[in-house]
Amino acid sequence: MSRILAASAVACALAVAATAAEDEGWTPLFDGESLEGWTVSEHPYSVSVENGQIVTHGPRAHVFYTGPVRDHVFRNFELRLEVMTEPGSNSGVYFHTEYPADGWPAKGYEAQVNNSHTDWRRTGSLYAIEDVSEVPAADGEWFDYEISVQGRRIVLKVNGKTTVDYTEPESPERPPDMPGRVLSSGTFALQCHDPGSVVHFRNIRVRALPD
């Protein structure tokens, strides 16, 4: 298949998926072709779009959704995306966060992405709050990641299996270096953790829930 035909097939598949998602109340956040609606911190060249995917690979960076959907502010929601890790890779999906020019996001929670990195906290962890050590997915294979927030309850699922079901207490205790790891509202971000990590993201869509 020629590159033109392959690109056309990818675009067609994405369009069909987007239409189906919108029909079910889901709104795509990524058009599969560009980073329109997204903003990269620190090292923009660490984030690229390839074959309908957002690919993170390079020095630390985070790509934040800054597009028009709900003015990129979400409180109660369901987020679904497909993720694939390459061996030894680390990443994460932040929510209730906001853009900083550099550094790790200080606001919001991180849903861990890590199937074989040296960090023991694996995919499906609510990083540093409720961690899991078992690996629920494999490198080199796409897996479904679901993140939902309703009220004070956070649920993470990998390939349909719940890995975390956490209810934030009224006065949560947090590590000294993570005081902002609490529920509020905000946007989403995908993490480029380090030059040795290569992670792919696609089919990113959201469904807002009543506040």
What is the tens place of the pLDDT at every residue in 61-89? 999 999 999 999 999 999 999 999 999 99
From the centroid of its chain, how far is CA 68? Answer: 18
Which whole number is the average pLDDT over 105-121?
98
What is the tens place of the pLDDT at every residue in 163-175? 999 999 999 999 9
- pLDDT-based confidence at residue 5 (cuts at 50, 70, 90): very low
Cα separation, 1 vs 6, in Å, equals 6
Q: Please tell me what DSSP assigns to residue 58.
A: S
pTM for this entry? 0.88
**29-208 CATH pick, 1.10.1370.40, 2.60.120.560, 3.40.50.150, 3.40.50.720:** 2.60.120.560
Q: Please tell me what DSSP assigns to residue 48.
A: E
**Residues 6+ away with beta carbon under 8 Å from 83:** 91, 93, 113, 123, 137, 142, 143, 145, 199, 200, 201
CA distances from 145 to 100, 141, 151, 157, 210 (A): 25, 13, 20, 6, 21
Cα separation, 66 vs 75, in Å, equals 15
Listed by start position, the domains of the chain span 29-208
